[in-house]
Structure 1
Amino acid sequence: MAKSYKEIMNDITTFIFDVDGVLTDGSVYIANDGELLRTMNIKDGYAMKAAIESGYNVCIISGGKNEGVRLRLRNLGITDIHLGTPNKVETFEEYTELYAIAPEQVLYMGDDIPDYHVMKLVGLPTCPQDASPEIKSISKYISHKNGGKGAVREVIEQVMKVQGKWMEYFEGNNN
């Protein structure tokens, strides 16, 4: 019998997220100088920081490349940031090999076709509510939230709660 997504959450040590459509709502604002601007949800950032400080691995693998995004993620404490990635599977395999992470220990959240093949490799493929139908069809958990609107916070919080680390983190940090 297959494990439920809640049972799989017990084994998660690593979170990998796409950017556009996951950490953002997929909208791009175009400035007069041609710079592409995105918005990110503060609650997603807070949860990623909590996960890192609780000992989880957090990695970003995105086809987009924006230095503002890199700076935001670095400020949250994320060190494994792979932007402008043409082959997400290759980057995923290099990352998990480097840190000796088993694929079944990984929760990956993606939203569209470029995430499809890497999501087939992980223990817990997840997506935002507004992900493409192809991604929803392979996800073991579909967030109740849209991309850029708290979907990342939702999955991190669920994993940390299942593992008894969510409130433990906040009680230890007196936030």
Structure 2
Amino acid sequence: MTKQALTPELQARAAKIKLAIFDVDGVLTDGKLYFLVDGSEFKTFNTLDGHGIKLLIQSGVRTAIITGRKTPVVERRAQNLGIQHLYQGREDKLVVLDELLGELGLDYAEVAYLGDDLPDLPVIRRVGLGMAVASADPFVREHAFAVTQAKGGEGAAREFCELIMQAQGSLEAAQAAYL
């Protein structure tokens, strides 16, 4: 994955992260919605993103998904990756964030969020490291602290995970384990 340059401020923010939260459509997927004739839905996910999330979890960072849509596909993906907290069908993501922080005893500065559209913006602006994917709405990109080089569903989540791990000094060891 392409590494984003760690400016001193980006390094400082990412070093504090204890919880990484992901939106789904447009972040873990390309944002397209696929419906079959029977009304069921399917999504495509990037395996590089998935392994990045697994590495982030192994490094000790907790993970969550907050999404406005509800589908069994996302529940299965979260389970497969070991994502600890899943919130589906929740339009007001800031309310969910506050519930989760209360449960975990964390504060906003310890949270990173990766989103792509207007419903993500209140959380992006509130957390310590609010980021948008390269394919995000331009208004969201403008108000995010940083923007990935990769598009949603095309490695943006992996880039986000590796950025956090790089800032926390765990990326090289995680990669070296495969040598």
TM-score of the alignment, normalized to the shorter chain, above 0.5: yes
Instruction: Write the deviation string for residues 32-70 of structure 1: whole angstroms up to 9, x where unpaired.
Output: 211121111101110111111111010100001111111
Asked whether 1:45 is paired with 2:50, we answer yes
| CA-CA distance at 1:174 after TM superposition | 4.5
| CA-CA distance at 1:170 after TM superposition | 3.9
- Give the aligned partner of residue 5 of structure 2: none
CA distance in 1, matches of 2:58, 2:149: 25
Summarize the alignment of residues 53-72 of structure 1 with structure 2, pairs less than 5 Å apart. Answer: 53-72=58-77
Amino acid at match of 2:165: M
Q: Which runs of 5+ in 1 are unaligned?
A: none
Summarize the alignment of residues 151-166 of structure 1 with structure 2, pairs less than 5 Å apart. Answer: 151-166=156-171
- Give the aligned partner of residue 168 of structure 1: 173
Moved over 2 A (4+): none
- Give the aligned partner of residue 99 of structure 1: 104
CA distance in 2, matches of 1:170, 1:129: 25
Q: What percent identity do the matched residue pairs reach? A: 34
If the length of structure 2 is used for normalisation, what is the TM-score? Answer: 0.91
Amino acid at match of 1:5: L
- Give the aligned partner of residue 152 of structure 2: 147
RMSD (CA atoms): 1.4
- Give the aligned partner of residue 130 of structure 1: 135
| CA-CA distance at 1:157 after TM superposition | 0.5
Amino acid at match of 2:85: D
CA distance in 2, matches of 1:42, 1:87: 28
Summarize the alignment of residues 24-35 of structure 1 with structure 2, pairs less than 5 Å apart. Answer: 24-35=29-40
Q: Which runs of 5+ in 2 are unaligned?
A: 1-7
Q: Contact 2:69 / 2:89 at 8 angstroms: preserved in 1?
A: yes
CA distance in 2, matches of 1:9, 1:103: 12
CA distance in 2, matches of 1:163, 1:45: 20
| CA-CA distance at 1:31 after TM superposition | 1.0
CA distance in 1, matches of 2:94, 2:34: 29
Correspondence for 1:15 among 16, 20, 42: 20
Correspondence for 2:116 among 111, 118, 125: 111
Aligned length: 172
| CA-CA distance at 1:167 after TM superposition | 2.2
Amino acid at match of 1:49: K
- Give the aligned partner of residue 4 of structure 2: none
Asked whether 1:74 is paired with 2:106, we answer no
**What is the DSSP-based 3-state SS (H/G/I as helix, E as strand, rest coil) of the residue aligned with 1:4?**
helix
CA distance in 1, matches of 2:174, 2:149: 24
Instruction: Write the deviation string for residues 81-126 of structure 1: whole angstroms up to 9, x where unpaired.
Output: 1011121111100101111111011110110011111222101110
**What is the DSSP-based 3-state SS (H/G/I as helix, E as strand, rest coil) of the residue aligned with 1:149?**
coil
